[in-house]
Each structure stands twice: as structure tokens, then as C-alpha cells.
Amino acid sequence: MIKKIFLNTLGVIAIILLVIVQIGANFVQTRYQLTYLSPWIPVIINSCIILFLGFLVLFNFTHAKKYRYLVSGLTLLCLIIFVGYSSQTKAIKANNNIYSLSPNKRDIFCLKKDGEKLTYYQSYYLLFGKMREVLPYNVAKVGNPTWITDDVAAVTYQDTEGHLHIYLGTYGHRGSSISYNYATSLTRGKWENSKAKFSLSNILGDLKITDNGKTTNYSSDNIVQFGTSGVVLTDENSAKYAYVIPEEARYESDGTPKNLQDIKLLSTKPNLKEMKVLKLSYKEGEK
């Protein structure tokens, strides 16, 4: 008897909680302009409600074996019909979204594709997303997202004219928490990977990349800032490089770096298949 009461209570509580989640989700979406990251999330929640309702009926009102089979079959049939119907809705049939869970399982990098438009959504609690930015180019192809650090994801996409671009989704903060910092100002000095014949020089506002003997200068017009964690370096038409400051970087209260010798900048190039990360070691500061 005690076991029956416990299981009934557990089932009722589960159903109530799931209903509250649905009601709360509707409130949150309306109040804070959030949306489910995936249109499948409410389908999963409602499917769980159907299963728990079937469990309660099966457990309390079907003592004969044949009725148990009947209730089980009806529950399964309702579930199949509901999921099948939901899968045909416009939101799910048109779902071309791109998702990637961070290595520390705290954030989801989400891009929602609508025709040639690609929109970045900031994730909240792994369930909701808020539209942050419509990417500036019409998109033809999108590569696989790569997590450069636990809180920075990078993705390469190709526009309809064939040019490659890099987008960085940032979820952390670099530098002093008192004020906003530019990634370029937090990485002043010279960095290199001698084995790969690659170096980055950021001296007195003059940023240049040397890749296998070829040096390219990048003015402020060709530097795109993403949060305080990274930048993308571009030419007139496409992205050429991106670099990200690792999470272990430490700064003084005024934003001055204090452990550059102990960290490695993380550099990458646009690639639709796989973005490889190159580690750059600090060599010297501004003179």
C-alpha cells in the first residue's frame, strides 16, 4: 500500500512539474523574448506527460492482465500519433538548425537557418535561446562548429558568392570585469609557433600575421571583435584568421595582462570541414 501511494505521488508530481515547465516556458518566452533552442523540446516534454498519465492509469485502474495490455497499447498509440503529428508541423519540418554542446556541458552554440539567412542564438539553461545577431551574409554552406575553448565556439560558413567567413560564439569574459576590453588590447606583443612558421605581432596598434614567410597587416577596419574573447581578421571579402584568448588568461583590475608568458593564443583558419587550432606562444611585449 505504501509503495502504491509513493509511486502514485511520484507520478502526479512528475506530471505537475512538467505542466509547470510548459507554462513557465510560455511565460519566459513571452516576457524575455526567448524561444526553445529546438522545436523538439516541447514535443519531448508533452510525450513525457502522456507516458506518466498512461503509467498512472495502468497502475491504478487495470488489475486484469488484458486491461493492462489495452492501456499500454493505447498509451503507445497516443504517443506515436502525437509524435508523428508533431514531426509534420512547420517548425520541425523546416528545422535546419545547427547545434553544438560545449565541452563543459554548460552552453549550446546554436545557429538557426532560414533559407539563406543564418541567425545566432545565445543559449540559456540549455533549453532556451535568444536571438543575438543575423549573420551579415547570405549563406550557401555552413561548416561544423568547433569549440576553441570551453566558452568559445567557432564556425566557418560560405556565402552565396563563395567567400568564407568565421563566426565566434562567446560565452565567457576576458580581462577586467569592471569594463569592456578589446581582445586586441589584451594580446599586445609578439606570439609565434615556430614549428608551423606562424606568428602574430600586435605592437602599438599594428597587427600583422606572418604565415609561412608571408606577412599581412590588418587595420582596425579588418578586425572583427567577438565579445572580449576573440577576433576575426578579414580582407575585403572573407575571413583569413581568427584568434581566441584562452580561459586561463589572467588580468589586473585595469585590464593589464599578467600571465601572458604562461598561456597560448589559439589561432585558426576558415575551414568548412574541420577548423584546426594552432597554439601561439608569447615571445615578447611592446617595446
How far apart, in whole angstroms, are the C-alpha atoms of residue 191 and residue 224? Answer: 19
Whether residues 156 and 271 fall in one domain = yes
Tell which of 93, 128, 157 closes a domain: 93
How far apart, in whole angstroms, are the C-alpha atoms of residue 277 and residue 246? Answer: 12
Residue 12, pLDDT score: 79
How far apart, in whole angstroms, are the C-alpha atoms of residue 266 and residue 272? Answer: 18
Per the structure, the complete domain to which residue 221 belongs is given by 144-284
- Residue 122 belongs to a domain: no
Q: What cell was used for 49?
A: 506527460
Tell which of 24, 58, 93 closes a domain: 93
Residue 135, pLDDT score: 93
Residue 183, pLDDT score: 83
Q: What cell was used for 237?
A: 571579402
Residue 1, pLDDT score: 64
Whether residues 89 and 155 fall in one domain = no
What pTM, to 2 d.p., does this model score?
0.81
Buried-exposed string 235-272: b where 16+ CB fall within 10 A, e elsewhere = eeebbbbbbbbbeebebeeebebeebeebbbbbbbbee
Residue 22, pLDDT score: 81
Element (H, E) at 172: none
Residue 93, pLDDT score: 62
Residue 239, pLDDT score: 95
Cβ-proximal residues to 136 (8 Å cutoff; 6+ apart), any chain: none
Whether residues 151 and 278 fall in one domain = yes
| Degrees to nearest 5, angle at CA 274 with 269 and 275 | 30
Tell which of 31, 64, 93 closes a domain: 93
- Residue 109 belongs to a domain: no
Whether residues 278 and 152 fall in one domain = yes
| Per-residue model confidence as pLDDT tens for the chain (287 residues) | 677 677 677 777 887 888 888 888 778 777 877 888 888 888 888 888 888 888 877 777 666 666 677 777 777 888 888 787 777 776 666 667 899 999 999 999 999 988 889 999 988 888 888 889 999 999 999 999 999 999 999 999 999 999 999 999 999 888 666 566 778 888 888 999 989 999 999 988 889 999 999 999 999 899 999 988 899 999 988 999 999 999 888 777 666 677 777 788 899 999 998 888 999 998 887 66
Amino acid occupying residue 106: R
What domain count does the chain have? 2
Q: Are 168 and 237 in contact (CB under 8 A)?
A: no
